[in-house]
A = this chain, B = another copy of it.
Amino acid sequence: MVRDEFGLIDYVRSRLSKLGRADTVVGIGDDAAVLDMGLEKDYLLWATDSIVEGRHFNFNIGDRSLIGRKAVGAVMSDIAAMGGYPVHITVDMGIAPYVEMEDVDEILRGMMFLTELFSVDIVGGDTVASDRLYISVGCLGRVEREWLTLRSGARKFDEIWVSGPLGGSIYGRHMSVSPRIPEARFLVQNFRPTAMIDISDGLVADLYHILEESRVVGEIVRDWIPLHKDARSFDEALYMGEDFELLFCLSEEDSRRLEAIGNRLEYRFYRIGKVLERGNPGLYMRDGEAVYPLDKRGFSHF
């Protein structure tokens, strides 16, 4: 049976009854669910992420704390992509017979590196016996109502940005996730990003998520795409997943402002393209004088 994670998520999404609870602002389909629990200023954000040994990480990695760091970092990255910040997490672990207590210690240490960095409490979880090690992390976050940033708000003439160089994460960097929470908070506090996502499936695949949810056509410029030093080819910057950088859109005015103060920032953002027009979602690459369409082919975990 052939399928991919995106296809199955869409399928599950299509099968789920929508009760349309009044407190569900956004359900399945963005980086995190958005819940209106009656807080005066904030929405609650809720994301989950599962990683499975052999698929998303190798147990025989030298430093097993990175397994925990990846599990927690990936889900915190989802919270950042909504403009929010994490507050609490739960950790479910399927413990395989060959996992020793010291391994669990190491994994927890990697989790706590991030939870302590971002003042997050681990408030629950479940441990069960499993043939293979898996970790499923849930993360609750908060975001001020006016700062909530979805995938669906990109508009004509918006400019497209990323928060860091792309490509080559699979050669090791994908394990030492640094969720872009300070960067996301800087952006929503000082600008009004119209759409945002974190790059987990690859630049092109994740940009398509924005373009599709926003119903717009985009263009990226080959020379503007920042290549990570780990990348071994330009294609890796386009199609390789798990960069965990923010990909976002800003109005032309906000883009000029971000450029103007860019050299005073501790963060570095890269403008890589723009939204051309409303209409059937599509993506073009500008390469010198040439312009060609880019299809959606991206990194898939299946």
Contact = CB atoms under 8 A, between A and B. Distances in A.
Interface of A: 1, 3, 5, 8-9, 11-12, 15-21, 23-24, 26-28, 32-33, 35, 37-40, 42, 44, 46-52, 54-56, 87-88, 90-92, 94-95, 97, 100-101, 104-105, 108, 112, 115-116, 119-132, 134, 136, 138, 140, 142, 301-302
Tell which of A42, A88, A127, A131 has the most Cβ of chain B within 10 Å: A127
Given A17-B112, A27-B124, A130-B134, A50 B104 contact: no
A162 to B, nearest CB: 23
A125 B48 contact: yes
Contacts of A142: 37
B28 A130 contact: no
B100 A1 contact: yes
A195 to B, nearest CB: 19
B95 A8 contact: yes
A131 B133 CA distance: 10
Contact of A129 (B27, B37, B128, B302): B302
A205 to B, nearest CB: 16
- 9 closest A-B pairs by beta carbon, nearest first, are A33-B123, A136-B136, A33-B124, A27-B123, A138-B138, A50-B92, A92-B136, A24-B121, A8-B127
Contact of A123 (B28, B88, B128): B28
Given A37-B37, A55-B130, A130-B132, A87 B12 contact: no
Contact of A16 (B54, B56, B100, B108): B108
A112 B17 CA distance: 7
13 contacts: A1-B100, A8-B95, A11-B101, A16-B122, A18-B121, A19-B119, A24-B121, A33-B88, A35-B140, A39-B39, A49-B92, A50-B126, A94-B134
B121 A27 contact: yes
B52 A104 contact: no
Nearest to A124: B33
A301 B129 contact: yes
A112 to B, nearest CB: 5
Tell which of A27, A37, A88, A123 has the most Cβ of chain B within 10 Å: A123
B17 A123 contact: no
A42 B44 CA distance: 14
A88 B23 CA distance: 9
